[in-house]
Amino acid sequence: MAGSREAGVRELDRATVERIAAGEVITRPARVVAELVENALDAGAERIDVEVDGDGTDRIRVADDGCGMNREDAALAVEPHTTSKIRDAGDLAAADTLGFRGEALASVADAGTLELTTNADDDEIGTRVRVADGETAVADAGRARGTTVEVTELFADRPARRESLASPAREFGRVSELLADYALARPDVAFSLTHDGRETLRTPGTGTTDALVAIYDRETAGHATAFDHRADLETGAGSEPMVGWELRAEGALVAPAVTRSTRDHVHLAVNGRPVANEALRRAVASGYGTLVPSGREPVAVVRLSLPAETVDANVHPAKERVALRDGNTVADAVETGVRDALTTADLRRSGEVAM
């Protein structure tokens, strides 16, 4: 029985399932990509290759070189509410993985046809699990260690979903932005993105500067300065104050010689997950202050490391937004970190940025 093993994929109990933010996760092709990329990162992948055809409903394929799955786990993983990442609601608060709800693969399989090819051990034969029209088939498959998930016929039987999608270019644009955000959240991982057979993005997994070159250009990357700010935060607000926890904000700040006209170039990540958080974005912009001319916006990569207990990713089904405990204190610390780093940086010179 799965539950008796130390590790491995198992089904969550009802009480835990009910604590998990409900809601439809798979609303558009980019959500499929996000869930599959997060699974690859949770599996310890160093390399993640994403392929998209058309608007993504035709085909999405994500291949990783992570830990893979044995046959038993692979067959179980496509079932609803099965996960290897948490055991029960008690683990939710401290979950340090990107996934924890155990429903992504099942939801994807429900919304389209899913074929998962995986191998946990190069010396063993791999496994292919195919879920189509509610039927699951398991077979042998040759594959090196890692996992490939291919999704086809997405929303084939959901005309309302299909109709709610934007043009293929817009839908692919969302995938492209999403992948850039993951690549900047995890510059130690090599990502590639291929659209209709043409490679549109490749980051080498060798740090923030190289990722910025790939996502922006040499000029932008050349103006980036590494920053790494740590703050000991005295108390946390709320019913159970926390004393003496450490915030780390690190990444790269592009000197204000290079700015953009839109606000979406502050790339934020919290504990390895790209997030949209208006308070934090504003904190970064305030850190630049008047260095950025009015009407222009900064380019920055800001990755926060916070104790898992201070972050609640369980507020939004897609986890795109997170709730931060004592968010104002965190925002103030980020603003200070950015301002200090910009004050000490030589903003005219191109800077080298570490990982």
CB 329 to ligand ADP: min, Å = 30
Q: What's the closest the beta carbon of residue 105 comes to ligand ADP, in angstroms? A: 4
Asked whether the beta carbons of 276 and 321 are under 8 A apart, the reply is yes
Give 333's contacts (C-beta < 8 A, 6+ positions apart): 229, 231, 233, 247, 249
CB 259 within 8 A of CB 284: no
> Which residue's CB is nearer to ligand ADP, number 147 or number 259?
147
Handedness of CA 138, 143, 145, 146 (dihedral sign): negative
Residues that bind ligand ADP (CB under 6 A): 9, 35, 39-40, 43, 64, 66-69, 77, 82-85, 99-106, 147
Q: Which does 100 bind (CB under 5 to 8 A by kind): Mg ion, ligand ADP, none?
A: ligand ADP
Residue type, 221: A
Q: How far is the CB of 97 from Mg ion (least distance, A)?
A: 8
**Residues within window 13-42 making contact with Mg ion, judged by CB under 5 A:** 39
- 91-120 residues near Mg ion, rule: CB under 5 A: 99, 104
CB of 147 to ligand ADP, least distance (A): 4
- Residue 196 in tokens: 């209709």
Closest-approach residue to ligand ADP (CB) = 99
Binds 176, which of ligand ADP, Mg ion, none (CB < 5 to 8 A, cut-off by type)?
Answer: none
- How far apart CA 321 and CA 328 sit, in angstroms, is 16
Name the residue nearer to ligand ADP (CB basis): 193 or 299.
193
Give me the count of residues in the chain.
Answer: 355
Nearer to ligand ADP, 100 or 182 (CB): 100
Measured from the CB atom, is 112 or 351 closer to ligand ADP? 112
Measured distance CA(114)–CA(13) in Å, rounded: 25
C-beta closer to ligand ADP: residue 82 or 208: 82
Measured from the CB of residue 45, what is the shortest distance to ligand ADP in angstroms? 7
In angstroms, what is the minimal distance from the CB of 162 to ligand ADP?
23
Structure tokens at 132: 């189509």
- Cβ 263 to ligand ADP shortest distance, Å: 30
Which residue lies nearer to ligand ADP by CB, 70 or 200?
A: 70
Please give the size of the binding site for Mg ion, defined by CB under 5 A.
3
CB 245 within 8 A of CB 326: no
Torsion of CA 207, 211, 217, 219, to 10 degrees: -20
d(CA 211, CA 181): 10
Half-sphere exposure of 155 (CA within 13 A, CB side): 20
Count of Cβ atoms closer than 10 Å to residue 137 Cβ: 11
How many angstroms separate the first and last alpha carbons of the chain?
A: 42
**Smaller CB distance to Mg ion: residue 251 or 272?**
272
Amino acid identity, residue 75? A
Residues interacting with Mg ion, by CB under 5 A?
A: 39, 99, 104
